[in-house]
Amino acid sequence: MQIIVVGCGNVGSTLAEQLSSEGHNITVIDVDNQKLQNLTNNYDIMGVIGNGASFAVQKEAGVENAHLLIAVTGSDEVNLLCCLIAKKAGDCHTIARVRNPIYNMEIGYIKEELGLSMVINPELTAAAEMGRLLKFPSALAIDTFTKGRVEVVKYRVDEDSALCDLPLKEIPGKLKSDVLICSVVRGEEVHIPDGNFIIRAKDEISIVGTTQKTTAFFKKLGVPVSRAKNVMIIGGGEMAFYLSKQLISMGIQVKIIEKDKERCDELCELLPQAMIIQGDGTDRNLLMEEGLPQMEAFVALTNFDEENIMLSLFAKSVSKAKLITHVHRISYDEIIDGLEIGSVIYPKYLTAAHIIKYVRAMDNSLGSNIETLYRLNDNRTEALEFSVKEDCPVVGIPLQDLQIKPGILICTINHRGNISIPGGQSIIQVGDTVIVVTTKTGLNDIRDILK
């Protein structure tokens, strides 16, 4: 497809890179010539210098023949104007990044009136991810499918875990559990395991199953499954606001530490049930005075990656809190992986995954569509939910007889509301939804799993 991306900041650059790698023709618009050159030199994309809200600039970028325009500049208003112009000039699909909470309250009206295909709010998306994690603090990551009925939970195996040195095929019998371990990260390698794969200490495993069955599985392992009772958040930006609203509605006590007095006053009005502390969140004495050692969860949401990483390391040293660390840039990936600082949240990855799901659905003219898509394990694995809407080569044939590509695992089949972990005799039928985990990125349709 012909896709125009307006804005090449963190999200725009990630989108351009990933969409280009999936075979789309990408043109990026930005006022910063240096940023454009960095992208066009490193990836097979075109660049146009200028204001993306200008009709002349969009025309130069080929809006009249574009299938989709994605506006992800730092200004909500510019993004909305870009989409409005593109809709009028090229009648293409449009996606806007909108971050202001004021607009978020009116987003349904804005989307309908401007004819937007999608509105994405990175801070709200990241906050929703954090909220899921604080419901189940033992998890490193939680992704939901089938309208919340199926979860993929990422968990690091402790040395004293009952899973250690156990082949996967023995787990259902020993733990009497009906879940599936769909991927394992060990060191630098990602595995889609078979029944003979043996779990080791420090493996990061992803478990798929219904919410009730994954909860039961962790209870049998002796892993705490109850939500955090209190949380300390460092930084009072929009992400902290969205997260705090969620947590307060769940009955979790929230304490926010924010430097700026004016922002503290705003938060006191917006979040009367939260405790707002004006102070420097990097001050160790302040953190100790405010009860960090007793906290069950700690979330570092400052604007600086280095601060967030160091804050989480400090919290790890003085407490047993569930750690969530917000990181903008990906240049720290290898270092972060070795620090074990809990759940690391990259908003731009979450945003890109939502948009790529929409793009794949647009690009897909076959009978089965992507319902849900998540990038797992630092984007090295994908979990996709397909809706089987017409007869295709996977329908009506036992899974053991299908010629499935290596590196692909069918995790669940939802048949008329009955969700099951499939076996070799299981059959996919029209109307089912199927969850697939794979190390082969770029699947657009359920039939793409076949050789």
Strand partners, 344: 325
Residue 268 CB partners (closer than 8 Å, separation 6+)? 276
Half-sphere exposure of 245 (CA within 13 A, CB side): 13
**Tokens 């604007």, residue?**
303
Q: What is the DSSP letter of 293?
A: G
Cβ-contact 175, 192 below 8 angstroms: no
Instruction: Give the tokens for residue 443.
Output: 């699947």
d(CA 189, CA 151): 23
Coil/strand/helix, residue 172:
helix
Q: For the sheet with 418-420, list strands across it.
A: 368-376, 381-388, 433-438, 408-415, 418-420
Instruction: Give the tokens for residue 132.
Output: 């899921």
- Ordered domains of the chain (ranges, CATH): 2-120 (3.40.50.720), 127-131+138-221 (3.30.70.1450), 230-345 (3.40.50.720), 365-449 (3.30.70.1450)
Strand partners, 207: 153, 181
H or E element: which one contains 256? strand 253-258
d(CA 292, CA 295): 5
d(CA 297, CA 50): 44
d(CA 270, CA 202): 41
Instruction: Give the tokens for residue 152.
Output: 């993929």
Report the number of secondary-structure helices (H) and strands (E) in the chain: 15, 22
d(CA 283, CA 292): 12
d(CA 141, CA 163): 19
Q: State residue 101's pLDDT score.
A: 83
Per-residue pLDDT of the chain (451 residues; tens, 9 = 90+): 899 999 998 889 989 998 998 889 999 999 999 999 999 998 999 999 999 999 999 999 999 999 999 999 999 999 999 999 999 998 899 999 998 888 888 888 999 999 999 999 989 999 999 998 998 889 998 988 888 899 999 999 999 999 999 999 999 888 888 899 999 999 889 999 999 999 999 999 999 999 899 999 999 999 888 899 999 999 999 999 999 999 999 999 999 999 999 999 999 999 999 999 999 999 999 999 999 999 999 999 999 999 999 999 999 999 999 999 999 876 666 677 677 888 999 888 888 888 888 888 776 644 447 888 888 887 789 999 998 877 788 999 999 999 999 999 999 999 989 999 999 999 999 999 999 999 987 788 888 999 8
**Tokens 């799993």, residue?**
449
Query: What are the backbone angles phi and psi of residue 418, rounded to the nearest 5°?
Result: -95, 110
Cβ-contact 72, 12 below 8 angstroms: yes
Instruction: Give the tokens for residue 298.
Output: 């700690």
Helices (H), 136-224: 171-175, 211-221
